[in-house]
């Protein structure tokens, strides 16, 4: 709204709606209410214990003031191309729960500021499957903290998922990385993976070509983190 990308006639504040809060960690899933603020996720011992990559991701969103206000639901509903949470939604294969249905991560992000949500549909919770291990690395914009490029790599018993944000119009899976890393889970394994920059974002801060380069660099760093190197 403030960017003048939308001019709705009415705005409804969801902050007071019951049932959109709470963090539940266990049974292989971390479930977080859409109204939970980034600072709560970052500060949650339960999340840190079960899914530390998500804890670190939340603690790296924007800055402290932003984390005091921003919510998980707001982030995933907005589908900002440079937001952090979408990398986790895609990279962990999360399920988006709305007031009327569940949407799989791979079907959720559609385009720039566009999701599979229908008009009036409200995100109520996000369910993140807990991998064996995962790591998120981003090249943060120095002023806003937004991800110029961010990559989350997750290992589910040898099945690798890679979620990429910042590079394209919305978050997407790095399927070529997933295949390469499933064969050879080492940082060096991403070096030979092609990252075509067609359709990538290009702006004042980073060209599409540079973003493609950053995707590989952040993927390599995320794998190194995941392996504890």
Partner 1 sequence: MAVEITLTVNGVAHALAIPENTLLVDVLREHLGLKGTHVGCDTSQCGACTVHLDGRAVKACSVLACQIDGCEVTTIEGIGSVDALHPMQAAFRDHHALQCGFCTPGMIMSAIDLVRRSAPLDRAGVRQGLAGNLCRCTGYHNIVDAVLAAAPHMTERQGGG
What's the min distance (Å) between Cβ of 15 and partner 1? 7
For partner 1, give the closer residue by CB, 13 or 198.
13
Give the per-residue SS3 of the chain: CCCCCCCCCCCCCCCCCCCCCCEEEECCEEEEECCCEHHHHHHCHHHHHHCHHHHHHHHCCCCHHHHHHCEHHHHHHHCCCCCCHHHHHHHHCCEEEECCCEEEHHHHEEECCEECCCCCCCEEEEEEECCCEEEEEEEECCCCCCEEEEEEEEEECCEEEEEEECCCCCCEECHHHHHHHHHCCCHHHHCCCCCCCCCCCCCCCCCHHHHHHHHHHHHHHHHHHHCCC
What's the min distance (Å) between Cβ of 144 and partner 1? 5
4 is a site residue for partner 1 (CB under 8 A): no
What's the min distance (Å) between Cβ of 97 and partner 1? 24
Angle at 174 between CA 168 and CA 179, to 5 degrees: 165
What's the min distance (Å) between Cβ of 133 and partner 1? 24
Closest CA to 96 of 69, 70, 117: 117
What's the min distance (Å) between Cβ of 38 and partner 1? 12
For partner 1, give the closer residue by CB, 68 or 99.
68
For partner 1, give the closer residue by CB, 62 or 187.
62
65 is a site residue for partner 1 (CB under 8 A): yes
What's the min distance (Å) between Cβ of 66 and partner 1? 6
CA distances from 144 to 16, 41, 97 (A): 28, 20, 29
Among 99, 104, 107, 144, binds partner 1 (CB under 8 A): 144
For partner 1, give the closer residue by CB, 3 or 27.
3
Q: Which stretch binds partner 1 (CB under 8 A): 48-56, 61-69, 83-91, 107-115?
A: 61-69
Q: Which stretch binds partner 1 (CB under 8 A): 50-58, 131-139, 142-150, 202-210?
A: 142-150
Among 5, 6, 18, 143, binds partner 1 (CB under 8 A): 143
Q: Rule CB under 8 A: which residues touch partner 1?
A: 2, 11, 13, 15, 39, 62-66, 68-69, 143-145
């Amino acid at each position: 709204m403030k960017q003048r990308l939308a001019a709705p006639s009415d705005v409804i504040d969801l902050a007071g709606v019951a049932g959109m809060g709470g963090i539940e960690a266990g049974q292989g899933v971390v479930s977080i209410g859409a109204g939970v603020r980034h600072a709560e996720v970052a500060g949650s011992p339960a999340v840190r214990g079960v899914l530390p990559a998500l804890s670190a991701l939340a603690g790296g969103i924007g800055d402290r003031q932003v984390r005091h206000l921003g919510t998980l639901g707001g982030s995933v509903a907005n589908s900002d191309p440079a937001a952090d949470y979408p990398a986790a939604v895609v990279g962990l294969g999360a399920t988006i729960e709305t007031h009327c249905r569940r949407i799989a991560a791979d079907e959720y992000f559609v385009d720039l500021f566009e999701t599979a949500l229908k008009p009036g549909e409200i995100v109520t919770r996000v369910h993140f499957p807990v991998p064996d291990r995962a790591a998120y690395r981003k090249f943060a914009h120095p002023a806003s903290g937004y991800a110029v490029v961010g990559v989350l790599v997750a290992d589910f018993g040898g099945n690798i998922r890679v979620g990429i944000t910042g590079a394209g119009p919305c978050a997407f899976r790095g399927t070529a990385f997933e295949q390469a890393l499933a064969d050879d889970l080492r940082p060096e394994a991403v070096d030979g993976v092609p990252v075509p920059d067609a359709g990538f974002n290009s702006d004042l801060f980073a060209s599409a070509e540079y973003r493609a380069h950053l995707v590989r660099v952040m993927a390599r760093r995320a794998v190194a983190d995941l392996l504890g190197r």
